Structure 1
Amino acid sequence: MDIRHTPDRTELVSIWQDTLLSIADLVDEASPEQWSSPTPCPGWSVGDVIAHVIDIEQVLGQEPRPDHAPDFAALPHATGDVGRFTEVGVDWRRGRAPKDVVGELRETIVRRRAQLDAVPIGGEVLSPFGRPTSMERLLSMRILDTWVHEQDIRAALDRPGGMETPGAIVTLQQFLSGLPKVWAKQAKAPEGATIHLVIADAGRGTEAWAVAGADGVGETCTPVDEPTVEVTMTWQDYLALSAGREDPPVVLRRVAVRGDGELGERMLAAMTQTP
């Protein structure tokens, strides 16, 4: 799929399903050691990531959650309301046989696909935060979350790949659409400052532009001859920063920044867009 293509609802449903099936396939033959391998998600193993994906899809399907109270004192990574909420379904599945958890994931995908197919055109669905949203918005959010977790699993298993799939492209599109907010609000770029972001992988010529407005509001803009900051990086590094998977100072050593260096570093430090 081309980065310039905006997938419609039918395409998004297929991409959502394929992305979920991809992580199921990744762990189908995982050894006990691989299942318990730590991922870039603090406190979570490969099996925990699978459990989290199951739990969120079931929540969105309005299925009953387990009546379970984790021992949060033993789970220091589970902080805040969102962290504690997501830990319930994860902790409840710890200790279950991997084949049973993967089987539950596959069964959940089938049920959710039937639910999504039944939503009328133009109908709204519930977001992970319980608010009504469009099918297209929900599916895009779920593709991003699931595909990023696929990369977490790949990192833990030392099985790189999947960076050019439709799920990867939908994720990249969403990260790029968030650039104006990152630039103006999170990096606190001064009014009128422009950013040119280049994702320079072989075979991919992706770039985005944004300008900071007043009161931390940013917007996309047309190219200018001399942007305030120009940042060139790989898709892997952009993912690491946007998903908060690697410390910005480490990534900075691999990134080319031109223009206002201090503001560029501030931009890189503020790039995280996921919870």
Structure 2
Amino acid sequence: MDSQEMYVGAWKQSADAVVELVPTLSAEQLAAPTDCPGWSVHDVVAHLAHLEEVSNGEPEAPAGISVVASDYTEAGVAARRDVPTADLLAAFREQTATRYAFLSSTRLDLAETAPVTPAGVPWSWETLLRNRAVDLWVHEQDIRRAVDVPGDLDSLGAQVTTHTFAAGMGFVLGKKVKAPAGTTVRWLVTGGAPVTIELQVGDDGRARRAEPGSVADVTLALTAEAFTVLAAGRRGPADVPVEVDGDRELADAVLGAMTLTF
């Protein structure tokens, strides 16, 4: 499986999961708050419908929707807040089917700039496809946590998301925590999408893969679900189970800085 197939497959699996799950939810569940501040389950569906419409080149609705990155997703949800969930889901289903037909039949140069992206950000095809896979799986999980229907923690979307966030831990340790040279941190991520991350800060302040045999100053053991919840900024360190072995102060600094944007 190449990168395009992997990203498209992960995105489609999560899209299908949302299409299957949402119609089973009650009105109370659709109104339930999610870990996205101010967003209900209905609002998450509105967000997903919005971005898939945009990805297919549909005009923004209503005309004049904000294209400022920080306001863009909120504006898309606000514009659809009064649209029935069933209508949003029907639009989402139609748009993802159209998108999948194109992405599964067209070989893309992933290094090229994608012609249409949310808010017009200058992403390559690879960045766009990866980010859509991550965004959709993360929001699928937002819905599942809100209605207490766990699932897809070992799916292709879970794998793509966990490894994407794992690749950002060097930025967390070196640039956000600004740990001193020689600091070594190990993340032991278990569960449906396991990964081990071992990073060491160099003299230049950058965190790189630790040398074999390096002794970690702290080891953070947590499930892939907890890891992605932290990295996606959905909950804080006090709200997810993490086992800490080693420097507690360093652990707290790393855990508090794990939120990534993508």
Q: TM-score, structure 2 length as denominator? A: 0.88
Structure 2 spans left out of the alignment, 5+ residues: none
Q: Secondary structure at the match of 1:93?
A: coil
Could you say which residue in structure 2 is the equivalent of 1:263? 250
Which segment is superposed worse, 231-240 or 128-137?
128-137
Quick check: 1:61–1:115 contact (8 Å CA) kept in 2?
A: no
Could you say which residue in structure 2 is the equivalent of 1:221? 210
Shift of 1:157: 1.1
Quick check: 2:189–2:222 contact (8 Å CA) kept in 1?
A: yes
* C-alpha spacing 1:115/1:179, structure 2 compared with 1 (3 Å): same
Shift of 1:222: 3.4
Give yes or no for the alignment of 1:85 onto 2:80: no
Give yes or no for the alignment of 1:193 onto 2:180: no
Q: What per-residue deviation string (whole Å, max 9, x for no partner) do you get for residues 92-149 of structure 1?
A: 2122222111101001102222343465431531443534444333221111111010
Q: Distance in 1 between matches of 2:190 and 2:10?
A: 24
Shift of 1:205: 5.0
Quick check: 2:181–2:201 contact (8 Å CA) kept in 1?
A: yes
Could you say which residue in structure 2 is the equivalent of 1:105? 92
Could you say which residue in structure 2 is the equivalent of 1:166? 156
Give yes or no for the alignment of 1:51 onto 2:46: yes
Give yes or no for the alignment of 1:143 onto 2:143: no
Letter of the 1:103 partner, please give it: A
* C-alpha spacing 1:39/1:166, structure 2 compared with 1 (3 Å): same
Q: Distance in 2 between matches of 1:47 and 1:215?
A: 46
Letter of the 2:78 partner, please give it: D
Letter of the 2:239 partner, please give it: V
Q: Distance in 2 between matches of 1:204 and 1:167?
A: 9
Quick check: 2:194–2:224 contact (8 Å CA) kept in 1?
A: no
Q: Distance in 2 between matches of 1:13 and 1:99?
A: 25
Q: Secondary structure at the match of 2:120?
A: coil
Q: What per-residue deviation string (whole Å, max 9, x for no partner) do you get for residues 31-72 of structure 1?
A: 2211111111111111110110111222233320012679xx
Letter of the 1:106 partner, please give it: R
Q: What per-residue deviation string (whole Å, max 9, x for no partner) do you get for residues 219-247 of structure 1?
A: 22333341122111122221221111112
Q: Distance in 2 between matches of 1:175 and 1:151?
A: 15
Q: Distance in 2 between matches of 1:10 and 1:204?
A: 18
Q: Distance in 2 between matches of 1:272 and 1:257?
A: 18
Query: CA RMSD for the aligned pairs?
Result: 2.5
Quick check: 1:68–1:92 contact (8 Å CA) kept in 2?
A: no
Q: Distance in 2 between matches of 1:68 and 1:43?
A: 23
**Structure 2 counterparts to residues 224-263 of structure 1, below 5 A:** 224-251=213-240, 254-263=241-250
Q: TM-score, structure 1 length as denominator? A: 0.84
Letter of the 2:22 partner, please give it: V
Shift of 1:256: 1.9
Could you say which residue in structure 2 is the equivalent of 1:180? 170
Shift of 1:262: 0.9
Q: Secondary structure at the match of 1:62?
A: coil
One of 17, 28, 31 as aligned partner of 1:22 = 17
Shift of 1:249: 3.0
* C-alpha spacing 1:131/1:204, structure 2 compared with 1 (3 Å): closer
Matched residues, number: 259
